[in-house]
Amino acid sequence: VGDEVDIGVDFHGRVPKPMAKRLVKALEPYEPFFVEEPVLPEHNDALPDIAAHTTTPIATGERMYSRWDFKEVFESGAVDVIQPDLSHAGGITEVKKIASMAEAYDVAVAPHCPLGPIALASCVQVDACSPNTLIQEQSLDIHYNETSDVLDYLADPDVFDYHEGYIEMPTDPGLGIEIDEETVRERAEHEVDWHNPVWHRDDGSVAEW
């Protein structure tokens, strides 16, 4: 992609600490935008050691659900970008509080949002009033939406019309979106498997999905 696109490398907590240290060092010459979730949250105490092996920004937080979960990583000084998910971390109010805490520690915010238009619209509201917002994740046109697009749920999908990686701030009341309720009712008639996929390694052991 040349110099026009920044690339974040998501470890998704799938590798142990010793391998994470080697990987962040090996990736450094390629100047990734950030390295995401090098270890799972239960191993956040390892983040300072991992960060010591690279100058690449470290991001984490999609599986952290309150200000108190984030307090530890702020105080460790090991994380440069936090990624709270509004659908899991208490919604607009709690994530705005988390973002304000992050600002005090000079930590950027990139809200996690691989979900639908309501979650994305909520994130955008937090982004707009958080000066330390770095980037907003979204899943429009992503591979796992091949059979249907999340914008199908909106009466006016143009509210998320991206140009050069940006959207205009919605100006309509509330979250700035209108739900197509008929589409929601239609989709509700279909059964959905909400379970996470289960991945296995070659030896049959269960892997972090």
| Enzyme catalytic residues | 12, 112
| CA-closest candidate to residue 38, choices 29, 113, 25 | 25
Q: How far apart are CA 40 and CA 89, in angstroms?
A: 16
Using DSSP, state whether 75 is helix, strand or coil.
helix
Residue 177 CB: number of other CB atoms within 10 A? Answer: 23
Phi, psi of 49 (to 5 degrees): -65, -40
Taking alpha carbons only, the member of 114, 119, 58, 56 closest to residue 87 is 119
Number of Cβ within 10 Å of residue 34's Cβ equals 22
Q: With the CA atoms of 148, 150, 155 and 156 taken in that order, what torsion angle do they form, in degrees rounded to the nearest 10?
A: -110
Tokens of 48: 């300072």
Query: Measured between alpha carbons, how far is residue 116 from residues 6, 79, 92, 96 in Å?
Result: 23, 27, 15, 20
